[in-house]
């Protein structure tokens, strides 16, 4: 006999737990399938010094806002795990840990969804996929050109400088992970070679406040994807690099260069013993700075418009410029013993056998509601707002979907459903 639930949730991270909390509030019988254990990705896929880049006060899981002593601090990895574990303990969600969903399909004859798992088969009236989108580490095929004696890691496998060979390190990519890992290695005294990509950077503090405080006051975190100037294109944009380390600070790659870190443009190819780079280091540094300055200008305008009393700051002045761009490097002569690929992830929804995906494998949805009645997504970056994939915005999305699911249960399969669908999507 297949066990049946009103709602099945796939994924027991902060998104899955959040929708579980909201459904429990509304009296739904449901189940949460978690492939590993609660807090697994934070516990095992982050380096030792990892911390949030947004202040703790932005941790606003449904029914569990941050209440500890450092609202303006930045939780480290172990504190994040404890925060999530405490959340689960606060309402005892029906989580099946160590259970992977290997297939999801729709049984239209019985009007249910079928789930094949490593712990048997289940059915559900409605399903929420809350497994995020960072499923498989993405490493370019160019990695195959490096010799076997060079250790190669994805950013999710990096733990600390002491675990690497006593040699120089090449870090490829300057998103949040790449810049923070490069800093971690640099502070430990490692010789770091960094391939600088096109990711933007953010100021940490400006005119007396953390930039996150200003952006919150300006309403940026309430901006929906429909209102964003770039619309759906923003989902593919790299996150701004900044850090919460040691109380929070900016990451200025130019300062690292002054201190001995070697900077290059994007990695182009590997040939024989030589790394070749694109001649775009200056361009990428300048563009990252321009984004940081544009954030400051928007804050300046907000302060002026609202006549806020705030201290002034001088404009940013670059502390270092690449006089000539290095376009090649012999990795043997540079004594490079490790390459860390900070090149992101790709999603894998191959187990979802329901026709809701576009040509790139991204699920079509409106605020997490797909065109297939009863199937939803939660926790994706920019599902609805900037905070959709983070602790800050998940409550809004989870409550919206929980209300939608509740309305779906009450509606018939005829015209009433169309009315509910039109009302909720228009709200």
For residue 324, give the CATH number of its domain: 3.50.50.60
What are 192-208's pLDDT values in tens digits?
999 999 999 999 999 99
State the alpha helices, DSSP H only, in 14-126: 14-25, 40-44, 77-91
Q: Quick one: 9 and 129 in the same domain?
A: yes
CA-to-CA separations, 389 to 106, 121, 158, 167, 341, in angstroms, rounded: 26, 29, 22, 36, 22
Q: Quick one: 193 and 328 in the same domain?
A: yes
What are 163-191's pLDDT values in tens digits?
999 999 999 999 999 999 999 999 999 99
Domain end, chosen from 312, 341, 370, is at 341
Q: Quick one: 40 and 58 in the same domain?
A: yes
Q: Quick one: 261 and 306 in the same domain?
A: yes
The total number of structural domains that make up the chain: 2
Q: Quick one: 359 and 289 in the same domain?
A: no
Please, what's the b/e burial string for 299-314 (b: 16 or more CB within 10 A of its CB; e: otherwise)? beebbeeeeeebeeee
Q: Quick one: 145 and 272 in the same domain?
A: yes
Q: Quick one: 112 and 49 in the same domain?
A: yes
Domain end, chosen from 341, 375, 395, is at 341
pTM of the model: 0.93
Domain end, chosen from 341, 369, 403, is at 341
Give CA–CA dist 321/395, Å, rounded.
43
What phi, psi does 66 have (nearest 5°)?
-60, 130
Q: Quick one: 179 and 273 in the same domain?
A: yes
Per-residue pLDDT, 424: 54
What are 235-256's pLDDT values in tens digits?
888 889 999 999 999 999 999 9
Give residue 1's pLDDT band: very low, low, confident or very high (50, 70, 90).
confident
Arithmetic mean of pLDDT over the chain:
94
What are 38-77's pLDDT values in tens digits?
999 999 999 999 999 999 999 999 999 999 999 999 999 9
Q: Quick one: 105 and 168 in the same domain?
A: no
Per-residue pLDDT, 411: 65
Q: Quick one: 247 and 371 in the same domain?
A: no
More confident residue, 1 or 11: 11
Q: Residue 23: pLDDT above 60?
A: yes
Mean pLDDT of 11-23: 97
Q: Quick one: 212 and 267 in the same domain?
A: yes
Q: Residue 307: pLDDT above 90?
A: yes
Give CA–CA dist 268/123, Å, rounded.
49
* Domain enclosing residue 106, as ranges: 3-135+347-425
Give CA–CA dist 408/420, Å, rounded.
7
Q: Quick one: 164 and 239 in the same domain?
A: yes
What are 327-369's pLDDT values in tens digits?
999 999 999 999 999 999 999 999 999 999 998 899 999 999 9
Give residue 418's pLDDT band: very low, low, confident or very high (50, 70, 90).
very low
């Amino acid at each position: 006999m297949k066990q049946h639930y009103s709602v099945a949730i796939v994924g027991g991270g902060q998104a899955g737990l959040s929708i579980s909390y909201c459904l429990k509030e509304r009296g739904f019988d449901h189940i949460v399938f978690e492939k590993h254990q609660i807090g697994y990705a934070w516990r095992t896929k982050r380096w030792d010094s990892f911390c949030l880049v947004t202040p703790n006060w932005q941790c606003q899981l449904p029914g569990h806002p941050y209440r500890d002593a450092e609202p303006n601090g930045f939780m480290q990895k172990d504190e994040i795990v404890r925060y999530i574990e405490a959340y689960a303990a606060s309402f005892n969600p029906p989580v099946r840990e160590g259970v992977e969903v290997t297939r999801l399909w729709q049984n239209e004859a019985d009007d249910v969804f079928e789930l094949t798992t490593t712990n048997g088969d289940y059915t559900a009236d409605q399903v929420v996929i809350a497994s995020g989108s960072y499923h498989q580490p993405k490493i370019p095929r160019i990695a195959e050109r490096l010799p076997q004696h060079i250790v190669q890691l994805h950013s999710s496998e990096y733990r600390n400088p002491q675990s690497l060979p006593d040699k120089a390190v090449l870090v490829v990519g300057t998103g949040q992970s790449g810049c923070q890992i490069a800093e971690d290695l640099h502070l430990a005294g490692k010789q770091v070679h960094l391939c600088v990509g096109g990711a933007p950077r953010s100021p940490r503090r400006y005119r007396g406040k953390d930039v996150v405080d200003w952006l919150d006051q300006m309403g940026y975190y309430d901006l929906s994807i429909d209102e964003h100037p770039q619309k759906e294109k923003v989902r593919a944009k790299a996150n701004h690099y900044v850090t919460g380390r040691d109380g929070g600070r900016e990451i200025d790659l130019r300062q690292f260069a002054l201190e001995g870190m070697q900077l290059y443009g994007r990695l182009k190819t590997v040939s024989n013993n030589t790394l070749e780079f694109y001649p775009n280091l200056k361009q990428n540094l300048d563009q990252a700075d321009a984004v940081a300055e544009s954030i400051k200008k928007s804050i300046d305008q907000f302060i002026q418009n609202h006549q806020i009393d705030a201290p002034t700051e001088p404009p940013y002045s670059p502390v270092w410029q690449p006089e000539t761009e290095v376009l090649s490097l012999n990795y043997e002569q540079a004594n490079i013993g490790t390459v860390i690929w900070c090149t992101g992830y790709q999603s894998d929804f191959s187990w979802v056998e329901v026709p809701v995906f576009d040509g790139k494998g991204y699920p079509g949805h409106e605020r997490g509601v797909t065109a297939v009645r009863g199937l939803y997504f939660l926790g994706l970056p920019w599902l609805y707002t900037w905070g959709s994939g983070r602790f800050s915005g998940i409550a809004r999305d989870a409550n919206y979907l929980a209300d939608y699911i509740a309305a779906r249960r009450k509606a018939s399969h005829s015209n009433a459903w169309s009315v509910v669908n039109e009302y909720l999507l228009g709200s």
